[in-house]
Each structure stands twice: as C-alpha cells, then as structure tokens.
Chain A
Amino acid sequence: MINSSLKQLSAQLAQKKISSVELTQLHLDRIARLNPGLNAFVTVDAARSLAQARAADARIAAGEAQPLTGIPVAHKDIFCAKGWLTTCGSKMLANFVSPYDAHVVERLNAAGAVILGKTNMDEFAMGSSTETCFWGPVRNPWDPARVPGGSSGGSAAAVAARMAPAAIGTDTGGSIRQPAALTGICGLKPTYGVVSRYGMIAFASSLDQGGPMAKSAEDLALMLNVMAGFDARDSTSLERPAEDYTRLLDASPAGDRAKPLSGLRIGVPKEYFGAGLASDVGAAVEAALAQFEKLGAQRVAVSLPNSALSVPAYYVIAPAEASSNLSRFDGVRYGYRAPEYTDLADMYRKTRAQGFGAEVKRRILIGTYVLSHGYYDAYYLKAQKIRRLIARDFAEAYAQCDLIMGPTSPSVAFAIGAKASDPVQMYLNDIYTVAANLAGLPALSIPCGFGEGNMPVGLHLAGNYFAEARMLQAAHQYQLATDWHMLQPAGVE
C-alpha cells in the first residue's frame, strides 16, 4: 500500500478496497512511528485530517470523486492552511494559526485531498539542508546522519519514508528538486506563474514557485493537475487554458514502443559536468543519459555560458526580495514579539533579533545591503542583467534541444552539520537548480541511481516555458524502463 502510486490508490479508493479514513490512519500511524526519528512533520492534527478523510469517503460514496479525492498529502509549512499552525519553520511564526487557505491548499481541498500534516522546512525556506528550522533538523530517511536537502526537506523525507503518498513544496532556488534528489524521490518546479503564490509565505517573490513532490513522474502530473491554475489574487499568476499534465505520459510520437522517446533532443550543457561535480553523481547521471538514448532520445551538446553567474546573481536577488518580504514580521500584528522592550525601535530590534534564526538574518542583511543607496546599481541591477543573460542562454539552447538534463545536486546528501558553518559551500548546492528559477523555466528531479554511501542521486530535467507535460513524459518513460524511483530506504518498511 505505501508504495502504491496515486493512480493505484485512487483506484482502490474507488473500488472501496480501502477508505480514505483507513489510508489516512495508515499514514498517521507511520508518522507516529517514524517521525520522531526523522522530524519531517512539525504539525500533525489527526482529528482534522480524519475529518477531511471522512468527507472524502462520503464524496467517493456519492460518486463525486476526483483523482486525488481521499488521498493524504503532506503540506510544507510555508502554505497557509485555515485553522492550521503555519510556522514557515520560524520562531517568528511559531504561534501563527492561519485564518485562510493558500490557493494551492484551496485547490487540493476542493479536489478532496486530505491534509496529512505540515512538514518541516528551512526557516522561511532559506537553506539547502533543512537544518535552519526552528523545529530542529530533518534527517534523511536513507541515512539519519545526513541532511535531506532543503528547503522542502520535510516534504521530501515524508515521501521518501512513505509517511505520505505525496507532498507539496516550494522552490525558490532548488528547494523542491534538490531535496527530492537527495532523498530519492521526484519533485517538480513548474514554469513561474503556473501555480499561484497566494497564501505561500513569500521568500523571494520573483523566484518562488510551488510544486509537487511524489514517488513518480506520473504522480507529479496528477498533483500538478490540481495545483496549477489561474488565481486573480496573484498578479503574477498566468491566465491560460487548463492543461492535463498526464496527457503525454504514454504518448510515443513515432509510434515505436521500444523507442518511445525517439525524436526527443536532450541538451547536455558542458558547464554542468565540470569541476565541483562529485564523480559518483556524474557517473549516475551519465548512465541515465545513456538510458534515455536507449529509449530513442538524441543527445545534443549545448552550452549555457553564463551558468557560473547564476549562483552569485541568485544570492543578490533572492536576499534583496527577502529582506523586504520579511519586513512584515515586526511583532506588531501577529507572530512573535519580544517579551521585554523599552520603546518601538527596541521592540523591533529585539523581536527580529530573537524571532529570526542566523541564516535568515544573514540574508536580510545581504538583501538590505544590495538594495542600499549607492550599491543598488552595482548589485541588484547587475544581478537583474545577469538574469536576462541566463534566460537568453536557455532560449538559445532550446533552439537546439527539447529538454536539458544534468545533475540536480553536485553531490549526494552530506552529513548534518557538514556545511552549516560555511554558507558559500551551502549555497553552491544550488548551482544546477537556480538558473531555472532565475529564468522562470520549469524543471524537475527524478532518482537515477545511487552514489557514495548508497545515497540517492537525482537527475535534473529542465524544459522550455510550459514544457511540463513533455518533461513529465520523458521522466515517466524513463521510470517505465527503470526502477530507481521504486526503491525505498531500509528501515522504514
């Protein structure tokens, strides 16, 4: 049951082989057993979840089920959910109960999915290891001494340890894809604007995008079908016809069953295979590329000459936006307020000094600096120019290929604490993922093997704007031919 796909679970619910209440209880039991060791969930509310499950069962009984009706989904604690504690991994919001639902939460609720709980994350999504959370670090189900990646590390660990059939996360610089890679699951960051940001606590508004995390490409497609959609409350939400992201999964354009991906041109950027890439990761990715060729795809050498600039540009733009986005956490209206202070300035100072963790403060300081009078042009404007150059690199590459593949992360999951004191090393984890955010392009990560310490390796698969269905097709065909995505960590059966 715990390894079933969403499609299988949906079928079993429809056939009344299992009820949503039973399915939800099954996962709540697993959370109760496994979460104390992994710390993937920060809030579980069995009564609330089971009430939703009962409503889902009634809906199934009434014959009004949709594909996700009755399926429990773990929510990253960045999504506002009415009546749920929504902390964003921060002491600042440790007591914040959201009075409203994020658009994504609304859509999942409307589809009949069950909120299984809120998952741990780097504080305000700032991190690549899920170590900066107020609620303590999340552990990687494949090796509890290692990080699960971040910032959606709680959602990733929840799916990897089969505590949840699927989860939702957010990705500002790789926060869905990198933890997916490090925990051996699948994660998709859609084209910017496909998923509404309303109710998703902002880190860096021009980069943030919500997306699904699940065991397979097919599950991602089913999740995205519900999550995507225009929302007038988000001015950057794109108004376009609804898309069925499962529609291409089994399509083989040339009609050649043995080579379902024939005609697909896979761009392999030379910049992604240079210094800094661990050899075990490189080897697994090479093997995956060979598998794609076997499936009929054609490998094309491409170049993304400004790749090296993406991390520096990202670490100007993201902190700049964050420094402003996090100004609302001032102790005045909700959230944490320092217990003692002398005057207004002192209240602000102490509230923010006590309420934010070190990484968040570091980024607020960086962001404040780069937006300051006299530095704005040199940092923020320059970074925006680089951003346009990076988008142009992709435009030129996509003239020669349909998808771009490479590693998701330069190494497999590292040990907890290994990079915690070296922010620059930590930031370099994003080297293969941030460019998609800067350009607003869709990208996903799927498991493609194992490296050092028998830890999972992720394959990064990126496409042009709105190429999600094509990307999911390629990933799905790869998963039909391989079983990396079916493997689960030992000790969580």
Chain B
Amino acid sequence: MDWETVIGLETHAQLSTVSKIFSGAATRFGAAPNVQACAVDIALPGVLPVLNRAAVEKAVRFGLAVGASINARSVFARKNYFYPDLPKGYQISQYELPVVQGGSLSMMVKDGEKTVRLTRAHLEEDAGKSLHEDFHGMSGIDLNRAGTPLLEIVTEPDMRSAEEAVAYAKALHALVRWIGICDGNMQEGSFRCDANVSVRPKGSEVLGTRCEIKNLNSFRFMEEAINYEVRRQIELIADGGRVVQETRLYDPDKRETRSMRSKEEAHDYRYFPDPDLLPLVISAETVEQIRSELPELPAQRRQRYMSECGLSEYDAAVLTSNQDIGDYFEGVVRHSLQDGEPFAQADFKLCANWVINEVAAKLNAENLPSWKFGVSDDTLGHILRRLREGTIGAKTAKELFSEFWDEARTAGYERQGGHPQLVNELIETRGLKQLSDSGAIEKILDEVLAANSKSVEEYRAGKEKAFNALVGQAMKATKGKGNPAQINEILKKKLAS
C-alpha cells in the first residue's frame, strides 16, 4: 500500500524582549540560576502579572508578516498543571482567543513553491528549568527562564514529508529572525518545534491517528525524528496494529522516538480566562503603525531578485533563505560596481553565483551560522569589481577569496579575512594582473602555434578540442595571467588566417 504522511508543526519562538512577558525581570540567556527571577517569576504570594507590550508588538509583527488577521481582542487563559519549574501551578497562555489567527508561509521545496497554512499564533510564558544533575539525589530548579515570552505558532496539517516539515521550519526560522522577533538560537532553546505526525493510505481524506513529537531543537533531529516516526507508524499498521494517540520524545542518540505519555494520561488543563489580566485589546492604529515599520519580507525580496535582478527562481530562493545572505548578496553587488556604474547595471548573476557557489557552500560545508561570513561583502565585492574590469581573472579571484576565507578560519572566525585594500596590494605585489597587452599576447601565441603544429593541424582538420589545447598552452605560457577571452579572440583570428 502507498502511504501518505501528514505533518503539522507547533513552534515555540522565544520573543527577543528585554524583560519577561509578565514581569520586569531580564530575559538574558546564561545567567547564574535564579538571578533573573523576581517576585512575580517565583510566584510569591500576592504578586500579579503585568503584560509586557513589547511582546505583543512582536506577535503582531509576526501576524502581519504571514498575512494573518490580528484579533482586536484576545484573552489570556490559565493552563493549570503541577510541575516544580512552573511556579504558579499554571502557565499563562492564550487559549480560545489568540492574538494572531490564520496566515500562511511559502517556501521553496524540490517540487517548487509550497504554502503551509497557519492556524494561529498565540502569546504565552515559558516555564523554568529542572536540573537533575549535581544535587545529590534532588532536583534543582532554575526560574531564570520562567516568564520568558513565547509565541506559539501552529500550522494546519499541510506538510507531507519530513523534508517539507524541515523546509517550513527553516523558512519560519528565517522569518522570525528576519523580522527581528526571535534570535532563533536553537541550542539555547529560542526556537523549538513539536511535530504532529500521522500516516494514511494515499488518496484517503481521513486523517490518521497522530503522535506528537516534543521539543525538536534542531532541523536534523526533526528530519530524523519524523522519518523514524513515519516508519514506525507504517510498520505498526502493516503488522495489524493501531497507532495510539500519544506524546513522544525523540532520542537523538538512539535515533528513535519513544512514548512520553498517552492520551489517557494527558492532563486536564482546566483552562479559564486569567482574572488577573484584562483582555488584550489591540487598536487598528497600533496594527497599522507596526505594519508601516515592517521590513521588506522574504517573499517580497524573492520577487524583487527575480524581476529587478533577473535571477532565477532557484537563485532568488537561496538568496532569501535568510536575511543575512540576502543582505550580504546586496553588499557584494554594491561593491562590485565600477566607478559611477548604476546598481541596475550590476552583474547580478555573477554576484549571485559567487554568493551561492562559494560563500553559501562554505557556510554549509563548515556548518557556520548564516551570519559568520569568513570574507566580508565589501572584500568579495571588491574582488568581483577587479574581476569585472578585467584586471584579474576568475582563477585569481577565487584564489584570493579562498586565501582570505582560510585566514578567517584559522582565526576561528573571530574576524574576517582580507579587505578591499589588501586585494589591490596583492594584485600589485604578486603581479596578479592579467596580461592584456595584445602585442605581447600575439607574440606568445605565435610561439605557441609554432611549438604545437600538430594541434594546429588537427584544429584545421575540424577537431574543436585541439583549440582548447592551444588555449591551455597559451595560458601556461602567460603563467595564467592571460585574459582567456582575449586569448580566445586573438587565437581564433590567427588560426583563421
């Protein structure tokens, strides 16, 4: 039987506010335990929550960026359960009326553009952390994270493979950083996903029973966990079994998911509107104000790269996969311009090729964050400027770029390699200039033709390959400094005469 996978994602994005969502305590990561937990975070008797409007503003920004509707009135509810790192015995969250409703996110997958519909996004507070080591048989509680603002972003069950789920998660990750609402740091837990996974016979309209895989904090784990879970469910059904609705955890060491709690064990959270907080009212003016402050969004930029820069859909998608690489690309383009050359006449394709094939490839290969560019955009742009004006050849350009990047790597990416002035200096001191004197080239070519009469004969006999051999010899004779285009042109003329 052919199976279809159905996936919906719930993502917790930590909003990058200075203080917590319901208290004035700081949200900085990595502080000593409990130094960032004030009376409200500890839930002393008598304390009350006060909503941080900065968190609301970020939630609205997200809603507008995904084309969702912003509810003029939304309600904070209490989700009641006991756990030592949940100081009040309830989490303040939004339940029936979330701040953001609907919307969608589009991204490139291998079959083209994929659109995932969003159900909602709501504000809530994070819990603290339980620490189970080093306490002599007891657990330690760190409430620094308690009350950190989260935006929980919930999709419709629109994804059909682990690959699509990861593509969505990456696009969402890029977007929340792009619009400046979340730092996206997955190691620190700023961006974590739960995946609802089910399978059904292909063609079926009915959803299968789902399992929720909790706390996926890397894209690789997400892909592995979903693929494992899909296999598990299919094998279970194929063996005559039945999927049980439950919450599962992914163990990256064993590369498997395992049951955490079943539906029967699920809590009754006894949601009810929090009487300590008034309904959240957001005026139309506030929404418009936030809309007017939105930056150019990924989809808009992708469109611009295609229509104004003439890039392919693929190139445009790669260059808008996050804001850093797009900004870097535009910086490279600006610095590649000759004096007085307008932006519109830049060689976008050349710059795109370099950023995608050299820069992005290196970031990928070395597993660097999207902003750890070993060579700055102005340095690379300057290299390309000298390439475009014909002073250096492509080979030299690549050598300079690689040398600079290696320098950054050696420095542990603490600093970037090279700088525009150094490009100029090295061209001079190392004599990297292309040989562009046509008289000198003609002289060298005459010598090459005389020394390679066999190739000349073959070419004249119609063997095209022989031409390339002659170019190679010519380049060798110029010690690689010949301008290949110029050599081609002169060589063709000579052979034709």
Mark A residues whose CB is within 8 Å of B.
79-80, 86, 88, 93, 96, 98-100, 102, 197-202, 204-206, 232-236, 320-321, 323-324, 326-330, 332-334, 344, 348, 368, 371-373, 376, 380
Contact call B80/A100, Cβ cutoff below 8 A:
no
Contacting residue for B39 out of A99, A323, A376, CB 8 A: A99
Q: A327-B89, A348-B82 given as contacts; is B47 within 8 A of A198 (CB)? A: yes
Contact yes or no, A330 B89, CB < 8 A: yes
A327 touching B47, Cβ below 8 Å? no
How far, in Å, is B127 (CB) from chain A's closest CB?
13
Once the chains bind, are B48 and A197 in contact (CB under 8 Å)?
A: yes
Chain B contacts for A330, CB-based, 8 A = 82, 84, 89
Main secondary structure of the interface of B (DSSP, over half): loop
- In the complex, what distance in Å separates the CA atom of A93 from the CA atom of B45? 9
* B120 close to chain A: CB less than 8 A: no
Most buried by A among B39, B45, B272: B45
Smallest CB–CB gap between A269 and chain B, Å?
27
From the candidates B47, B84, B270, B278, name the one contacting A332 in the complex (CB within 8 A). B84
Do the beta carbons of A235 and B44 come within 8 Å of each other?
no
Q: How far is the CA of A380 from the CA of B278 in the complex (A)?
A: 18
| Cβ-defined contact, A235 with B277, below 8 A | yes
- Say yes or no: B268 contacts A372, CB within 8 Å: yes
Asked if B272 and A328 sit within 8 Å, CB to CB, the answer is no
Q: A235-B278, A324-B272 are in contact. Are A198 and B48 (CB under 8 A)?
A: yes
Are A200 and B46 touching (Cβ within 8 A)? yes
> Is B47 a contact partner of A99 (Cβ separation < 8 A)?
no
Cβ contacts B263-304/A at 8 Å (1 or 0 each):
000001011100111100000000000000000000000000
* Chain B min CB distance to A119 (Å): 16
Q: Give the complex CA separation of A99 and B43 in angstroms.
A: 12
B433 at the interface (CB under 8 A from A): no
The 14 sampled A-B contact pairs (Cβ below 8 Å) are A199-B46, A205-B276, A235-B49, A235-B51, A321-B275, A324-B78, A324-B80, A324-B90, A327-B80, A328-B87, A328-B88, A368-B270, A372-B268, A373-B268
Q: Are B46 and A333 in contact (CB under 8 A)?
A: no
What residue of chain A has the Cβ atom nearest to residue B85's Cβ? A332
Complex formed: what's the CA distance from A323 to B271 in Å?
Answer: 12
Give the complex CA separation of A102 and B44 in angstroms: 12
Using Cβ atoms and an 8 Å threshold, which residues of chain A touch B46? Answer: 79-80, 98, 102, 197-202
* Contacting residues, chain A, for B275 (C-beta < 8 A): 204-206, 236, 321
B89 touches A99 (CB 8 A): no
B50 contacts A by Cβ under 8 Å: yes
Whether a CB of chain A sits under 8 angstroms from the CB of B141 is: yes
Closest chain-A Cβ to B209's Cβ sits at a distance in Å of: 20
Q: Specify which chain B residues have a CB less than 8 angstroms from the CB of A324 in the assembled complex.
A: 78, 80, 89-90, 270, 272
Residues in chain A near residue B39, CB distance under 8 A: 99-100
| Of B78, B268, B272, most A-chain CB atoms within 10 Å | B272
Closest Cβ neighbor of B42 among chain A residues = A333
Chain B residues contacting A372 (CB-CB under 8 Å) are 268, 270
Closest Cβ of chain A to B131, distance in Å, is 13
Measured CB to CB, the nearest residue on chain A to B24 is: A233
B45–A86 touching, CB < 8 Å: yes
- Residues in A neighbouring B278, C-beta threshold 8 A: 235-236
Chain B residues whose CB sits within 8 angstroms of the CB of A344 once the complex forms: 84
Residue of A nearest to B88 (CB): A328
In chain B, what residue has the closest Cβ to A80? B46
State A53–B270 Cα separation when bound (angstroms).
Answer: 48
Contact indicator A232/B272 (Cβ below 8 Å): no
Contacting residues, chain B, for A205 (C-beta < 8 A)? 275-276
Q: Is the CB of B82 within 8 A of A235?
A: no
State the Cβ distance, A233 to closest chain B Cβ, in Å.
6
Within 8 A of A (CB), among B278-334: 278
Residues facing A in B220-247 (CB within 8 A) are none
B271 contacts which chain A residues (CB < 8 A)?
371
Smallest beta-carbon distance A139→chain B, Å: 27
**Nearest-Cβ distance from residue B39 to partner chain A, whole angstroms:** 6
B268 touches A328 (CB 8 A): no
Q: Which residue of A lies closest to B266 (CB)?
A: A373
Bound-state CA distance A376–B273 (Å) is 12
Q: Which residue of B lies closest to A204 (CB)?
A: B275
Our pick among A80, A327, A334, A373 for the contact of B88 (Cβ within 8 Å) is A327
Contact B50 A233 (CB under 8 A): yes
Q: What 0/1 pattern do residues 47 to 65 of B give for CB contact below 8 A with A?
A: 1111100000000000000
| Beta-carbon nearest neighbor of B45 in chain A | A201
- Chain B residues with CB under 8 A of A200: 46
- Taking CB atoms and an 8 Å cut-off, the chain B residues in 443-485 that contact chain A are none
Taking CB as reference atom, which chain B residue is nearest A93?
A: B45
Knowing A235-B50, A368-B270, A371-B270, the reply to whether A328 touches B276 (Cβ < 8 A) is no
Set of chain A residues within 8 Å of B45, measured between Cβ atoms: 80, 86, 88, 93, 96, 98, 201-202, 328-329
